[in-house]
Structure 1
Amino acid sequence: MYEEIFELINKGEINKAQEQIEKISDDDPKKYNLKGLIHFNKKELEKAKEQFEEGLKINPIDSDILFNYGYLLKEMNQEMESWRYLMRIHDKDWATYDLLGDIEFKDRSKLASLRFYLKAAELTNNPQMKKKFLEIRNKIKKDTKIAFLCLPVLDNFLKDIVETFSLGYDVKLVVSTDANEITQAIKWADIVWLEWANDLAIFATNKVPEIANKKVICRLHSYEVFTDMPEKINWGNIDQLIFVANSMKIIFHKLHPNLDLQSCKEEIVYNGVDLDKFKFSIHKPGYNLAVLAHINYKKNPAEWIQIISKLKEIDKQYKLHIGGDFQDPRYKVYFEHIKKEMKMEDNFILHGWINEVEKFLEDKNYIISTSIHEGHPYNILESMARGIKPVILNYSGSKEQWPNELIYNTIDEAVEKVTEETYDSESYRRFIEDNYTLEQQIYEIEEIISYPKKDLSINYLKKNVNDLKISYVMPVYNGEKFIEKSLSSILKQKIEPYEIIVIDDASTDNSYKILSKYQKRFQNIKLFRNNINLGGLQTTKELLKKANGDFVKVVHQDDGLYESYAVEISRINDVYKYSFIVNDFTYITDENIVSNYLKKIWNNFELDPNKLNKEDLLKFLVIKGNYVGTDSNVLFTKENLMKIDYLNDKDEFLSQKGLYGYDYYIYLKLVNISKPKFVFKDLSFRYEHSNNVTSKHIGSFRRIIGLHKILLNYEHLLNEKERKIAYFNYFGRAIYSVKICKNPEEKTKMISYILKNCSKYLSKEQENELIKLL
């Protein structure tokens, strides 16, 4: 029957197909798949989306619906959402892998995309697919030689990484204790990866002189931090130290406070799951609990007995399945004894070491983690990827890594989390997809590997990015209080500024005299002056027209850069491909100093903007508002600014003098071209004071109009539900401006404007609130 309907659809006999579809039961997911296909053929994409989603509610792992839904999302430019659903297909064909490769290549990691293209090539005799894989591999493959070094038995966490990097680099994996074998690998390599900060790292950094000339990366997992091994490592020979969790970094510095890591860059890269191995399926509350662990004191095994004992009192059907080897034989003796004593032979089951973890988890309802300490545990990652609910003891760092509703403090709380009705397989899988995939891990590691070696000269750093040409531009108006600090911060950059262009916008204080003094001292400062005050927007436009660099950095008179700014920009992999670069900044007021300002905001949303594709980021910024910052913490690519006609007055919004939000508007236009890059490091600082342009506009009519006009320009991207949310958020910002406005006449204009232009989306309560403020 289904094949007949497919044939009717392919022939274009839609009416006949629809008649046949209506005969299918409403609880059959294929009914909605067929309906979706009809809407898709009619180019009714939103309706097709609704039908596919209905089908997935009935069967979330229906391969046909997942493929069609994924393909549809890609057509709707929601590529990472497409990736999510295509990855959930259990038995993927070569076409699915090819599609996944295309998405990965475009939106995240070109290296990780090769994994998908290779699988596609292996699953088909299609010569074009094999040719595509080889061409892409040859295009991105680098001559760099990487030696991954690890002691025996400790290479489990390294296998997927080595397999992937071998597709794009010349790779050797050495799992050995043989000093000569390790030494030869170091001599051969351009980059040395030391897996674990343990005895091997001690030997390599102290006994192999050649390592001083190599780029060296060391990854610290967990147990090493509680030993004296970090004290014996020669950190001067290590360029980058990778922690698998922020909590590990904190503990490391607490326990080893006297280590000199000045020459070693610290990174955090969380573990990632190969979602192709750990297939998603719907799990539900049940009676099968699982533990996967090396059985030792750290895992707190005695608590397993207590938990299953309490559950058995509730229902004898509960069983705890233990997968793992005994690293401490005392626990084996204890378990064999206590099972008999408590009559739990049928409830406490020891399986030994599990090789096929994915299969072992198939019929399990819960994964139990009672560890008193963890780095970033794979047993939880892999179980959640399968759709299994984890119950996690509150170890140090757990609340940073996992949804807090899955964490417990006491045995009674653990039992409650098992017996409660709350269970959501899809959300567990989604959490891993959004945060801890192998592809994201590969992407972050490759960025780290691409950083230049620490002791290379600054000239080499510049050469690596084709002589990084940043034009620093500064609009100044009555800025005598701050401009010396601001200029000094640019001049102190470790990579010498390509040029510094300043326009004094007819200042009436000593700004121009101060600027003239600096121009005489430094040849790379170009100084201009407006005869009349043109305002910030027009002056900035003039500056950008004069800029000759590949990148343009606006540094306002009350902003500054940390010395490492340009060096950090130079380390961004493929820096030229981004429409703009956003850095985090320190926000300085008279009352306090707030660092990591943007990171804290994005953490509140539980989102990483770097993980969003450009379409999703664009919609997010339209709905939520400007969470990029100001143009003072953004590095623009000059080429992209030219593409959006920023430098002329063709754009109606940008031609309106003094209208609030022009930087926000520019970001949206640039995001529409290509993805930006967010660097969550404080590379600049900003003084907030009453004369800031932003501060002046907060309670102004121009702010109300500016934000609304931006929304009008982009609301076509949103569906009706999203528009309502966007206008709700706009109203929140607008009502705040109204409340702090001190000019009665301006306040009336603001309220009238909102009522006139936004009434369609205002609730009765919001209208009443505005009217009361009149």
Structure 2
Amino acid sequence: MHTKQDSFPLISIVVATYNGAKFLATQLDSVLAQDYPNLEIIISDDNSKDETFAILEKYQQQFPAIRIIRSEQNQGYIKNFEQGCKQAKGIFVALCDQDDRWHPEKISKLYAAIEDKALVYADSVLCNENMEPIGVNISDRVTCKDFSSPLEQAIFCRIYGHAMLIRNDFLQQIFPFPSIIPHDWWISYTATLHGGIRYIPEALAWYRQHSNNVFGAVGGKRNKTQKSQVVQQEKRFAIERMQLFYAQCPENRTKEKQVLKSLLETYQGSGIFNGIRRMIIFFQYNDLLLASKKRSKIRKWLFCCKILVKFV
């Protein structure tokens, strides 16, 4: 006898938790309320010290689809997500933060839209700590669209893990997740090399912004203190990131490979010559390199001009 689940491929939801007791139940309830009929829920806990694990065990007793992995020591959010993803048995994988809330049709709508792409993502509603919408969606702050070139994800990535559905056969090829960039940036960049990225312009999650967020406000600006803390590291990070992206880009992507190589050379160098060369590259390919920035053409050109003196 065939069941309704036989018509739908298994989808794995990977939840990463760490000291998330305050908001965890809201997120788990929304995950369990999904209308997609064939799910496994893998929860990777990064050795929480609060009541998180007790909450997880309570849910697991009620819902057999939940599987819990607990780290013996804290390893950080990137490796925590990687640990959960490696255990995923589904044809597709959805990443899940511990403090948001999902629309009940989130998984089913993403599944219907992914087709042959490596990744599909949707819009999200930005909320305050009390999960009250602040009147802004992620798409109001950044450019959300389909992406097919690695250059579109090489400088900025504004595709967030909580909004994704990922093809698992692709995902299993890109471990380990590098430690120098967020896991969702790595997934997005490599997805452009394995079939591309699709966007559906519908808000399917409520993204909670609060003091414990890893990244804080989506698309927000750093304050002066934050800028001073990161300015000395930016060049090193840019070099490491470009080395990583250049190495990952295959030889048959000739144009993109050459642009990444040229950018890497300018980051590794110093002086005004490299600044001018980098600025010219940004002007020439600004539609790709600044694809995620929701800015006017003039503001993108001004950004390209600032590249002249950055890292000189």
2:285 pairs with 1:763: no
1:642 to 156, 172, 178: 172
Match of 1:473, SS? strand
The secondary structure found in structure 2 opposite 1:693 is coil
Q: 1:707–1:558: structure 2 CA closer, same or farther, 3 Å change rule? A: farther
Output the amino acid matched with 2:187: I
2:44 maps to 503
How far apart are the structure 2 equivalents of 1:468 and 1:703?
Answer: 44
Match of 1:544 in 2: 85
Partners of 1:545 and 1:561 lie apart in 2 by 23
Alpha-carbon deviations, 1:556-598, whole Å to 9, x = none? 11122101112212432xx341101111111112585245422
What secondary structure sits across from 2:122 in the alignment?
strand
What secondary structure sits across from 1:484 in the alignment? helix
Question: CA–CA distance in 2 between the matches of 1:627 and 1:660?
Answer: 13
State the match for 1:588 in structure 2: 127
SS in 1 for 2:48: coil
Measured after TM superposition, the shift of residue 711 of structure 1 is 3.5
CA contact (8 A) 1:586 1:596 kept: yes
Quote the residue 1:752 is aligned against.
Answer: none
Which of 61, 65, 76 is equivalent to 1:524? 65
Give 1:538's aligned amino acid: K
Q: Which residue in 2 is equivalent to 1:622?
A: 154
| 1:633 counterpart letter in structure 2 | A
Residues 693 and 497 (structure 1), Cα distance of their counterparts in 2 relative to 1, 3 Å cut = farther
Q: Call closer, same or farther: CA 1:726–1:556 in 2, change over 3 Å.
A: farther
- Structure 1: stretches of 5+ with no match in the other structure: 1-457, 603-607, 649-653, 734-760, 769-774
Structure 2 CA distance for partners of 1:639 and 1:724, relative to 1, 3 Å:
same
Distance 1:551 1:706, change over 3 A: farther
Using a 3 Å threshold, how does the CA distance of structure 1 residues 534 and 725 change in structure 2: closer, same or farther?
farther
1:224-270 CA-to-partner distances (Å, cap 9, x unmatched) read: xxxxxxxxxxxxxxxxxxxxxxxxxxxxxxxxxxxxxxxxxxxxxxx
Q: How far does residue 518 in structure 1 lie from its aligned partner after superposition? A: 0.5
* Mapped contact 1:660–1:707 kept (Cα < 8 A): no
How far, CA to CA, are the matches of 1:626 and 1:703 in structure 2?
18
Tell me what 1:566 maps to.
Answer: 107
Spell out the pairing of 1:115-130 with structure 2 (5 A cutoff).
Answer: none
Which residue matches 1:670?
A: 191
Counterpart-to-counterpart distance in 1, 2:241 and 2:182: 8
Give distance in 2, aligned partners of 1:509 and 1:600: 34
Contact 2:26 2:101 in 1 (8 A): yes
Match of 1:722 in 2: 281
Structure-to-structure mapping, 1:276-291, within 5 angstroms: none
Distance 1:496 1:672, change over 3 A: same
**Does the 8 Å contact 1:550/1:637 carry over to 2?**
yes
The separation in 2 between residues aligned to 1:703 and 1:554, in whole angstroms, is 29
Contact 1:599–1:680 (CA under 8 A) maintained in structure 2: no
Q: Distance in 1 between matches of 2:233 and 2:206?
A: 24
Using a 3 Å threshold, how does the CA distance of structure 1 residues 725 and 560 change in structure 2: closer, same or farther?
Answer: farther
Residues 707 and 496 of structure 1: is their aligned pair in 2 closer, same or farther, counting only changes over 3 Å?
A: farther
Q: CA shift at 1:545, angstroms? A: 1.0
Aligned to 1:692: 213
List aligned pairs for 1:698-717, cutoff 5 A. Answer: 699=226, 701=230, 704=234, 705-712=236-243, 713-714=245-246, 716-717=257-258
Structure 1 residue 621: deviation in Å? 2.9
- Relative distance call for 1:722 and 1:762 in structure 2 (3 A) is closer
Counterpart of 1:622, as a letter, is A
1:549 Cα offset (Å)? 0.5
Deviation (angstroms), 1:682: 0.6
Deviation at 1:723, TM superposition (A): 4.0
Q: What is the Cα-based RMSD across aligned positions, in Å? A: 3.3
State whether residues 110 and 165 of structure 2, in contact with CA within 8 Å, keep that contact through their aligned partners in structure 1. no
User: How much has 1:526 moved relative to structure 2?
Assistant: 0.8
**Structure 1 residue corresponding to 2:145, chosen from 604, 609, 620:** 609
Counterpart secondary structure, 1:577: coil
Distance 2:99 2:63 in 1: 20
- In 1, distance between residues paired with 2:111 and 2:186? 27
Q: Which has the higher contact order (CA 8 A, sep 6+)?
A: 2
Instruction: State the distance in 2 between where 1:592 and 1:524 align.
Output: 30
Counterpart of 1:633 in structure 2 is 163
Q: Secondary structure at the match of 1:513?
A: helix
Q: Distance in 1 between matches of 2:88 and 2:111?
A: 19
Task: Output one character per residue of 1:443-480: Cα deviation in whole Å (capped at 9) or x when no partner.
Answer: xxxxxxxxxxxxxxx93xx66xx413210111111001
Contact residue 123 and residue 200 of structure 2 kept, 8 A = yes
1:453-464 to 2 correspondence within 5 Å?
A: 459=4
What is the CA-CA distance between 1:724 and the residue it aligns to?
5.9
The secondary structure found in structure 2 opposite 1:538 is helix
The one-letter code sitting in structure 1 at the alignment partner of 2:163 is N
Change (3 A) 1:725 1:477: farther
The residue aligned with 1:535 is: 76
Q: Structure 2 residue aligned with 1:486, among 3, 27, 51?
A: 27
Residue from 571, 578, 591 that aligns with 2:117: 578
Query: Mind listing any 5+ residue stretches in structure 2 that lack a counterpart?
Result: 247-255, 263-276, 294-305
Q: 1:524 deviation in Å?
A: 0.5
Q: Which moved more, 1:550-559 or 1:713-722?
A: 713-722
Q: In structure 2, how many angstroms separate the alpha carbons of the residues matched to 1:622 and 1:767?
A: 17
Distance in 2 of aligned mates of 1:473 and 1:513? 18
Q: Evaluate the alpha carbon distance shift between residue 717 and residue 558 of structure 1 in structure 2; reply closer, same or farther with a 3 A threshold.
A: farther
Count of aligned pairs between the two proteins: 254
Aligned counterparts, 1:95-114, within 5 A: none
**3-state SS of paired residue (1:578):** coil
Checking the alignment, whether the CA contact within 8 Å between 2:13 and 2:95 is kept in structure 1 is yes
Distance 1:470 1:680 in 2: 22
The answer (yes or no) to whether the contact 1:497–1:524 under 8 Å persists in 2 is no
Are the aligned partners of 1:582 and 1:677 in contact in 2 as well (CA < 8 Å)?
Answer: yes
Q: Which residue type is aligned with residue 627 of structure 1?
A: R
Q: Which amino acid aligns with 1:508?
A: K
User: CA offset at residue 542 of structure 1?
Assistant: 1.0
Determine the structure 1 residue equivalent to 2:300: none
Partners of 2:311 and 2:164 in 1: CA distance: 37
Distance (Å, rounded) in 1 between the aligned partners of 2:81 and 2:51: 20
Equivalents in 2 of 1:578, 1:548: separation in Å?
19
- CA positional deviation for 1:690: 1.6
| Higher percent of residues as helix | 1
Aligned-residue sequence identity (percent) comes to: 21
1:709 is paired with a residue whose SS is: helix
Distance 1:668 1:767 in 2: 24
- Find the partner of 1:661 among 160, 173, 182: 182
1:690–1:725 CA distance, 2 compared to 1 (3 A) = farther
Map Cα deviations across residues 607-650 of structure 1 (whole Å, 9 max, x no partner).
x733x6x23xx323335x1132x21111111101123x32x3xx
Contact 1:583 1:682 in 2 (8 A): yes
The Cα offsets for residues 514-548 of structure 1, whole Å up to 9 and x where unpaired, read as 11110111111111211111111111111011111
Partner Cα separation in structure 2 for residue 633 and residue 479 of structure 1: 19
Larger Rg over CA atoms: 1
1:600, distance to aligned residue in structure 2 (A): 5.8
Distance 1:767 1:516 in 2: 50
